[in-house]
Chains A and B, each alone.
Chain A
Amino acid sequence: MMMCKRATELMSQRLDRPLSWTEKVSLTFHLSMCGACKQCNRQFELLHQAGQRLDGERCPQEEESDRE
C-alpha cells in the first residue's frame, strides 16, 4: 500500500501533469483512507489556486481602496 510521502508526490504532480490510471487509482484509494493526506491534498489545491489568484483577480480590490 502506498505511503503518505508517495501520496503527496502524486497529489503534487496531479497539478502539473495527467496521472496514469494506476496512479489515479492508488491515490484515490489512499486519500479515502488517510485524513491527513486528504487535508494535504486540499491545501495543495488551495496553493495552486492562490498562485493563479495572485494577479488579475486580486487587483480589483486595489482599485476600490479609498484614496484620500
Chain B
Amino acid sequence: MSRGAGRLAALLLLLLAVGPLLVPARLAEEDREAVRSAPTREHPLGTDALGRDNLYRYLRGMRMSLSGAGAAAVVATGIGLVAGFLLSRLGRGGMAFWGPALDTFQSMPWYLLVFLVRAWTPLETGPEQLTVILFTMLALLGWAPAARTVGAACRQLRQEPWAVFGRASGMSGVQMFRTHYWPHLVPLARVHFLMLTPAILLAESSLGLLGLGVPDSAPSLGSALTDLLQPGARWWEAAPLILLLTAVLSLQTISRRLTDERKRP
C-alpha cells in the first residue's frame, strides 16, 4: 500500500467530515415548491419527499455517522485496551474462565442484541438519545477483538528484558503501563480504531436501512440510504452509498497502511 494512497484516503475522509460546511446554508431549509425533485442548479442531488435538499442531507448524515462511529470506536478501543491489559495480568486459572467468556461474547448475534435494546428503549426516547444509545451499544459490542489483541501483546511485552527489569526495580502496574506498555500499545490501538470505525459505520448503515438506526429527524448515513429502498428510487439517490463506500474504503486503506508500517522491520 503506497504512502500516496494513504494520504488520498485521509484527504477524502477529511472532505467527508467537513462536507456540510462547504455547501451553502440555504440548502438546510425545506423547499416545499420542490418536493422529490430531480437534480437542478439549486438542488444538485434533488430533494426528498419533504423538500429537503439531498446533498445537504447526505453530507450532514455522513458527518454525523462518521463522528458517531469514530466516537464509538474510541470508546470500544479504550475499553479493549483496559480489558486487554487486565486480561494479560490474569493467571492460567483466570484465563481459563475469561478466555471462553470473551469467545462467548464475541459469538453473540449483535444484530439481535441491538434489536433487543431498541425494543426495550421507552417510546418517549428522543432522536438524540436514541442516537447516543445506538452508538453506545455498538461501542460496547466492539471492544472484544481489541481486548484479545492487546492482551496477547501485553503478555508478550511482559516477557521482554526491560519489562522484567522494570518490575524487579519495584515499578507499580500503573507505572509499568504508562512508561513501558503504553508506547507499544498506541500503534496497535490506532489500527484497531481504524478497523472498528468502518465496521461501526457499516453496522449503523445496516440498522438504518432496516429502520432501526438513527431516526430520520437526526440525519445519518443509514437513514439516507433508505432512499434507495423507496419504490421508484432514482439513480442520484445512490449518492449515500458512494459516500459510505468512500469512507469505508478510505479507512481500510489507512488501517492497511498502518499495519504494513507496523510489520516493516
Do chains A and B stick together as partners? no
Residues of B within 8 A of A (CB): none
Residues of A within 8 A of B (CB): none
